[in-house]
Amino acid sequence: MVKEPYKWLAFALAVIVIITGSAFSLFAVQQEDARMREVLLNDARIAVQSIDPVTVEALSGSPADLNDPAYLALKDRMTRIRAVDPSIRFVYLIGQRENGEFFFYGDSEPPESEDYSPPGQLYPEATALVRDAFSADAAKIGGPDTDRWGTWISSVVPVADPATGTVIAVYGMDIDARDWNQYLFAAALPGILGTLLALVLVAAFFIIHRRSIKEHERLGQSEKAYRTIFEHTGSATIQMEGDTTVSMVNGSFEQLTGYTREEIEGRRKWTEFVHPDDLPRMMEYHRLRRENSTGIPVQYEFRLITRDRAEKDILLSIGLIPGTMKTVATLVDLTEKKELERAVRKTEEQYQQLVELANDGIVIVKDGIIRRCNPGFAAITHYHGDELIGMPFERLVHSADREVVLDRHRRRLTGEQGLPSVYTFRFIWKDGTVRWVELNTRLVEWDEGPATLNIVRDVTDRKKIEDALILANEKLNLLSSVTRHDVLNQLLILKGYLHLSLQSLDDQEKTRTFIGREINSVATIEHQILFTKDYQDMGIRAPVWQDVGMILVRAKGALPMRDVAVKTESANVEVFADPLFEKVFYNLIDNALKHGGESLTTIRVSAHETEKGLAIIVEDNGSGIPDAEKPGLFAQGYGKHTGFGLFLSREILAITGMTIVENGVAGRGARFEITIPRGAYRFTDRKNQQSL
């Protein structure tokens, strides 16, 4: 009876120990479950960074993807991620069709696996976790959930279109619920063992005579439990002696290094696994740790050398076993993460080089302000890059186009659809020059807000060419109409005289008169047709930049100049004009030679800038043009010869917006003034901008 109170006390203590141990184990399980879920979710977040949304959007989600390089690259990436962590059973990418059906873009299983999911395979039993990921656009973890492949703990991360934020797919990673439960059991094991230990102590009140046996059993169980925990931590783990010998490793460390347990334990030192460049630092930590020095890191990175001499980036967590010189360390392989980081940095560097070296201007505009631009944009605007940053974009837009450009920019920022992404308008250079540009714009995120990414290209020359070709086409249509009308009139006259000739064959004098008139009609038709030979080439080819000095040299060389001198003050200017521009100077010099009279000795060519642009003056000291003839001077057919020279010259100049007038004084020489609009001329020698 004396022992009964102790029995009840022992029983009560046992119950308390069991309840406390159960609570502790449950808490440990809950903590481990939360930790493991966070790790799995972080792993999924890291892994999804290697998934390119543009590549996913390019896939069709059907068997046609099997030969698509983008699918093969995606498949390889998921297979490698699956291989890195054996605890992960499945890695996959799920899409959703417009009808709500869920399907696989691909998974990490080899095609020969019975669990393999080919592109386009439907997934009707998609869990609420997957469905929520499409709608909530947030990374989540859930489970256990059951589908045709088993019961799983899953983490899912949406893959979103970077431009619109729309979820286009969901990236998932699964761990078998049975493996998960084993990890939770391992987390609960210390509490269970502690409870058992406490129960053993309680039981010692009754079985004191078996203390040595029970103590031995407890130590054996503790060793086994330690070994079990050591083996199933989920990370590579090692135990090291004070002399750096590795005394214990787990299976994960074998997989990490490529060595077997038998080759390592008691045979190798941990220094053999460390990169030579990292070894001095780690040896110093090893020494200071055993001297109880403070400030020694318990977690740091180093490079590990595997059996095949490969380098792996490792995160090491280490600590001394209390009361000993031994240390226990866990190693987490960061190689994949580091490779991703390096790949991201390389991509950013390549993107930066692309932006910096691009000939087109690239500019980010946020809240109407230029936030960033490349040298190409600075070259287009003629500002320095530092001057552009912080400048309102509208300051560069011509006032006539400003409202349209700003309105489209504002509407694009609101998400309005259907706006043209490519359009042209006028830019203003720093010096006030007006140029045509083509803008290609897209909506992007910049500093946590909407902005536009704009590619700007100077298309002034192209615009001039387009306008010139349109004008030339109009003039050719006019030529066709006028020439057809004139030739038909002459043919009508010719037919009339031929008919009269037939009726007057007996009268030689009349016949001779009619034949003479017929010859005149034929000559007129010949002149009209010869004119079309020159006119037909006008506007057919695109305008080009032409050196006025060289044009004058060629024009003089093609004409019988006699003793007439052509003088120029300078020839350092180029003009953007039709390729027949040279014929204008040929006609003007030819007219001076034909009509200048005996007083003609000099033809002078000069130029100066005006408010309208550049004025090129061609003047001579000949007899000049009578005032009565000036109103029709540039009309078709006007003149003593073909009557087409000055008309053709005016038409050639009009193609690129130039004009020509005659403002000389009769008796003192002819004076032709050609006006070239701004932007259609450029000086080849800046020192001679005031004269030619």
Residues 28, 77 within the same domain: yes
* Average pLDDT for runs of 10 along the chain of length 692: 59 81 82 86 84 85 88 88 86 90 91 90 89 82 88 90 86 89 82 76 59 62 68 82 90 90 91 93 89 84 92 90 86 86 72 67 86 84 85 87 86 84 85 85 83 85 72 61 58 77 78 77 63 56 87 84 84 85 88 88 91 91 88 69 68 87 91 92 62 37
Q: Mark whether 444 and 327 lie in a shared domain.
A: no
The answer to whether the beta carbons of residues 400 and 426 sit under 8 Å apart is yes
User: Which position has the token pair 């044009």?
Assistant: 551
Query: Is 271 domain-assigned?
Result: yes
Residue type for 629, please?
Answer: E
Please report, as a single letter, which amino acid is at residue 248: M
Judge if 617 and 497 occupy the same domain. Answer: no
Domain end (from 342, 376, 398): 342
Q: Strand 602-609 relative to strand 565-568: parallel, antiparallel, unpaired?
A: parallel
Can you give the pLDDT at residue 122?
Answer: 92
Q: Are residues 303 and 373 in the same domain?
A: no
**Domain annotation covers residue 224:** no
Q: Are residues 590 and 476 in the same domain?
A: no
Phi and psi angles of residue 465, each rounded to the nearest 5 degrees, phi first: -65, -45
Query: Is there a domain that residue 335 lies in?
Result: yes
Among 182, 172, 118, 183, smallest CA distance to 145 is for 172
- Phi, psi for 61 (deg, rounded to 5): 70, 40
User: What is the side-by-side order of every strand in the sheet holding 573-577?
Assistant: 544-547, 573-577, 681-683
Structure tokens at 282: 């780690």
Report the candidate in 151, 48, 129 with the shortest Cα–Cα distance to residue 93: 48
Q: Which of 342, 366, 399 marks a domain boundary?
A: 342
Q: Are residues 437 and 474 in the same domain?
A: no
Cα dihedral sign, 585-586-587-591 = positive
Q: What is residue 521's predicted lDDT score, i.e. its pLDDT?
A: 67
Total domain count for the chain? 5
166's tokens: 């729309």
**137 C-beta neighbours (distance < 10 Å), count:** 12
Cα→Cα distances 525→479, 494, 517, 568, Å:
14, 10, 13, 38
Domain of residue 435: give its range.
358-456
Beta bridge partners of 106: 93
- The CATH number of whichever domain residue 308 belongs to comes to 3.30.450.20
CATH number, residue 666 = 3.30.565.10
pTM higher than 0.75, yes or no?
no
* Residue in 601, 614, 683, 599 with CA at minimum distance from that of residue 653: 614
Domain assignment present for 215 = no
Shared domain for 156 and 131, answered yes or no, is yes
The pLDDT value recorded for residue 204 is: 61
| CA 535, chain centre distance (Å) | 47
Is residue 176 domain-shared with residue 266, that is, in the same domain? no
pLDDT for 637: 58
Cα pseudo-dihedral 511, 513, 518, 523, rounded to 10: 140
Does residue 210 form part of some domain? no
Residues 642 and 649 sit within 8 Å (Cβ to Cβ): no
Whether residue 452 sits in one domain with residue 468: no
Q: Are residues 51 and 137 in the same domain?
A: yes
Same domain, 621 and 662: yes
Q: Is residue 208 part of a domain?
A: no
Distance from C-alpha of 605 to C-alpha of 574, rounded to nearest angstrom: 14
Question: Is 639 in the same domain as 582?
Answer: yes
Tell me whether residue 350 is in a domain. Answer: no
**DSSP state, 250?**
-
Among 148, 182, 216, where does a domain finish? 182
Q: How far are the Cα atoms of 227, 296, 563 from residue 237, in angstroms, in the given order? A: 11, 20, 104
In a domain, 393, yes or no: yes
Amino acid symbol at 559:
L
